Amino acid sequence: MKLWKYILGAFAFIGSIIALSSTSKKKSKKEFDDKVKTNKEKIKTVQVETRKIEKDKKETQIQVSKAKKKTSNTKKQVKNTDSAKKTVDNFEKKYRKRGRPSKKA
């Protein structure tokens, strides 16, 4: 009979340990759930910010492409003046021995 009491006592002890651990797990599970909720909220805010940034990026890319088109068009319209500069230099060397006179004189 004493042996049964010891066996029942051991089972009761083990059961109490399991009961205590399960209650502590519930508390930690609640904390975990709270952390998960806050993380989900943070992820949502970050996703919203990334969407805004992507929209801004697309708009700036469009503006850059428009600016490139404008510059290429203006470069096409402007004449190259290298040959004119060369002819002026050659003329000055040939007919003006001292070079171009100063504007003050």
Q: Is the model more confident about 63 or about 21?
A: 63
Q: Is 101 a domain residue? A: no
> Confidence band (pLDDT; 50, 70, 90) for 58?
very high
Overall domain count for the chain = 1
Q: Which domain holds residue 49?
A: 32-60
* Average pLDDT of span 57-62: 95
* Average pLDDT of span 73-98: 82
Q: Is 11 a domain residue? A: no
Report the first-to-last Cα separation within the chain, whole angstroms: 133
Q: Is 79 a domain residue? A: no
pLDDT at 83 over 70: yes
Asked whether the whole model's pTM tops 0.75, one would answer no
Residue 78, both tokens: 């402007």
Q: Is 7 a domain residue? A: no
Q: Is 19 a domain residue? A: no
* Average pLDDT of span 13-39: 81
* Average pLDDT of span 3-11: 85
Q: Is 3 a domain residue? A: no
Note whether 92 and 99 are within 8 A (CB): yes
pLDDT the model gives residue 95? 75
Q: Residue type for 89, please?
A: D
What is the average pLDDT value for the chain, to the nearest integer? 84
Q: Is 51 a domain residue? A: yes
